[in-house]
Amino acid sequence: MDERARHRQLTEQIRYHDYQYYVLDDPKITDQEYDALMRELAELEKRFPELVTPDSPTQRVGGQPMQAFAAVEHEAPVLSLGNAWQEDELRDFDRRVGNLLGSDEPVWYVLEPKIDGLSVLLRYRDGEFVTGLTRGDGYVGEDITQNLRTVRSIPLRLYEGDVPVPSYVEVRGEAFLPKAAFAGLNRERERAGLPTFANPRNAAAGSLRQLDPQVAAQRPLAAFVYEIRRLQGGPSPDSHWQALQWLRAWGFRQPPGSERCRGIESVIQRLPGWQEKRQELPFEIDGLVIKVDSVLAQNQLGATAKSPRWAIAFKFPAQEVRTRVKDIAVQVGRTGTLTPIAILEPVAVAGSTVSRASLHNEDIVRSKDVRAGDTVVIRKAGDVIPEVVAVDLSQRPPDTVAFQMPKTCPVCGAQTVRLPSEAAVRCTAELSCPAQVREGLIHFASRAGMDIEGMGPAVVDQLLAAGLVADVADIYYLQFQDLQGLERFAEKSSRNLLVAIAQSRTRPLHRLLVALGIRHVGERAARLLAEHFGHLDALIAATAEQLQAIPEIGTKIAESATSFFAEPRTRRVIEKLRQAGVRLEAEEKTASRGRLAGKVVVLTGTLAGMTRAEAEAAIRAAGGRTASSVSSKTDLVVTGANPGSKLQRAHELGVPVVDEAALRSWLD
């Protein structure tokens, strides 16, 4: 046999054994035999380097250490999941699904473990692993391809078996560190005098963000893949269950124990079994994910800005600990809301030390009757945010008093009010309350907002104390001499801050909208508004109805934005920003003028003359917006070869359907 034929044979054998081992959990040879095959392949490639291909099993660890990871835009937003902790919340979810689908029939669900790791996106072109990304902020991820190549359960080439391999597919899964590997890694780090990781999730994240793939390769990471995000050049699955089977056939490891259940009660029945099984699993799970099985139903249900309406996470109860409430403080937020905070005797819970817990609002403090001096049970909601669960009344000292929400603002002394429709008590001084001004400034300069480097809470406090700023626009009028007068502001730091402020002037409109801190307008809504209107003046001129006509913008956001812009104070700040040369335009200036202005376009199937990314960019340039599923807000569906269920959905909803040629005529 010549070396080329032997190379092919070895490669195929190794892929077959990888599949048996990782996917089927049924190894057919011993580790020694496997190592011998790998060794022979490596030796062969050493003698005949021309035989090496990027997807050869020997090529997992390659590449030089990097300076930084490249940022890559996601083809479609990488969504997260809504959470449920109670069985009744699952019943509510099921009711919403039933209502939206307009059916009383029990819905088929798939129940699978929720792996506590890191979301990763994997792209395969003609079966070859080409790119691996982190989720990042959901819009832009980091290119961690080199590190993901070192993960043995991620195939470098899709397995050609019963299910044809598509010309392009992007899948999503979870990279994680098994419990034993985590313990081993921490032992090693302790011996080496390095800081240990708090939990497997942090360890996995740290490993995948190693700039040197050699280091990542030494971390025994694994990955489960549970979603086909996009597929071209092949049929699309009709159900999640089928998608899981296809993924398995292509060589991806799956979250084990997934079950298909008819109706929500059947899902609920299975929950206790999982809670027990959890301890025995070799990796951490923090809950279960419940997904509507039918892809057609999924498309019909669509998604909110953050999460699909067809899936929900059921979180396991968190670890609970006891501690003492030293005091209840009241904080005043950016919008004037007074928030009671329990100041706690520091206590360790779920991987960190907790010394404060929000008590949210007056009603919650009252219903729990938390008092200074009480012993309380706390836990981390969703294992992140500390929360007071209950008071242990048997431990209550005799002299405690019930908590009273202050009648005046603890910061500015102004009257507080509670609107009948709200749980929040607010300071009425609004922007003359220093606490609100301070929080507004901090938010404005923060990373999510205008991202002014060096302008954190401490600097904001200094500027306020010196009377240099009274609203966010004042930031842009700061002079070198102003800063020189402040403590710790040497010449260099003053210049740096002024440069950072000047640079922030050019942030696109959606960043400015986030920075202004309009209630209910988060990152996603800000992007939608900026994209739709193109310029702040157009947005200011819009009515609540016009805002609501935008897909994903509901009444709450529309009303909050219009009343915000109607305020004279807002207008004054915006005029000052304009005078200071702050950009009021969105990223793509043509957005509101092109042939597809304001249109929501859904693509399905493979286009002949352009890639999906090119088509999406062209649609955006022509003023349109692309969405991933067809709904009543879709204006147009463009079909290519092998369209998926979206086409059927378009016909059902009477959405106009055009071909690639028609699309091109609008783009030119």
Binding status of residue 255 toward ligand IVH by CB under 6 A: yes
Residue 585: strand, helix, or coil: strand
Residue closer to ligand IVH, measured from CB, 114 or 219: 114
d(CA 323, CA 377): 7
Residue closer to ligand IVH, measured from CB, 51 or 205: 205
From the CB of 292, what's the least distance to ligand IVH, in Å?
11
Catalytic residue among 114, 315, 368, 380: 114
Number of continuous H segments (helices) and E segments (strands) in the chain: 24, 22
Tell me the C-alpha to C-alpha distance, in Å, between residue 237 and each of 170, 224, 261, 294, 521: 14, 19, 18, 9, 35
Asked if 221 and 177 count as a contact pair (C-beta separation under 8 A), the reply is: yes
Residue closer to ligand IVH, measured from CB, 313 or 663: 313
Interface of this chain with ligand IVH, residues 269 to 298, rule: CB under 6 A:
289
Asked if 203 and 182 count as a contact pair (C-beta separation under 8 A), the reply is: yes
β 259-262/82-84 pair status: unpaired
Q: Which stretch binds ligand IVH (CB under 6 A): 305-313, 392-400, 637-645, 654-662?
A: 305-313
Count of residues that interact with ligand IVH, criterion CB under 6 A: 15
Interface of this chain with ligand IVH, residues 168 to 197, rule: CB under 6 A:
174
From the CB of 254, what's the least distance to ligand IVH, in Å?
9
From the CB of 224, what's the least distance to ligand IVH, in Å?
7
Residue closer to ligand IVH, measured from CB, 250 or 533: 250
DSSP, residue by residue, 383-427: TTEEEEEEE-GGG--TT-------SB-TTT--BEEE-TT-S-EEE
Quick one: which of 308, 386, 623, 644 contacts ligand IVH (CB under 6 A)?
Answer: 308
Residue closer to ligand IVH, measured from CB, 170 or 174: 174
DSSP, residue by residue, 120-144: EEEEEETTEEEEEEE-TTSSEEEB-
Quick one: which of 44, 185, 311, 627 contacts ligand IVH (CB under 6 A)?
Answer: 311
Interface of this chain with ligand IVH, residues 195 to 254, rule: CB under 6 A:
226-227
Binding status of residue 142 toward ligand IVH by CB under 6 A: no
Binding status of residue 314 toward ligand IVH by CB under 6 A: no
Residue with tokens 């054998």: 13
Binding status of residue 304 toward ligand IVH by CB under 6 A: no
β 600-604/425-427 pair status: unpaired
From the CB of 495, what's the least distance to ligand IVH, in Å?
41
Binding status of residue 115 toward ligand IVH by CB under 6 A: yes
CA atoms within 13 A on the CB side of 379: 10
Asked if 544 and 558 count as a contact pair (C-beta separation under 8 A), the reply is: yes
Quick one: which of 114, 507, 620, 625 contacts ligand IVH (CB under 6 A)?
Answer: 114
From the CB of 307, what's the least distance to ligand IVH, in Å?
7
Strand locations in 516-663 (E): 600-604, 625-627, 636-639, 657-659
d(CA 535, CA 519): 20
d(CA 283, CA 116): 8
Binding status of residue 616 toward ligand IVH by CB under 6 A: no
Binding status of residue 313 toward ligand IVH by CB under 6 A: yes
For residue 114, indicate whether it is catalytic.
Answer: yes
Q: Which stretch binds ligand IVH (CB under 6 A): 113-121, 273-281, 373-381, 585-593?
A: 113-121
β 285-292/108-115 pair status: antiparallel
d(CA 392, CA 369): 10
Quick one: which of 112, 293, 387, 531 contacts ligand IVH (CB under 6 A)?
Answer: 112
d(CA 62, CA 149): 9
From residue 56 to residue 95, what is the string marking binding to ligand IVH with x (rule CB under 6 A)?
Answer: -----------------------xxx--------------
Residue 24: strand, helix, or coil: coil
From the CB of 546, what's the least distance to ligand IVH, in Å?
30
State the catalytic residues.
114
Residues lying near ligand IVH in the complex (CB under 6 A): 79-81, 112, 114-115, 119, 174, 226-227, 255, 289, 308, 311, 313
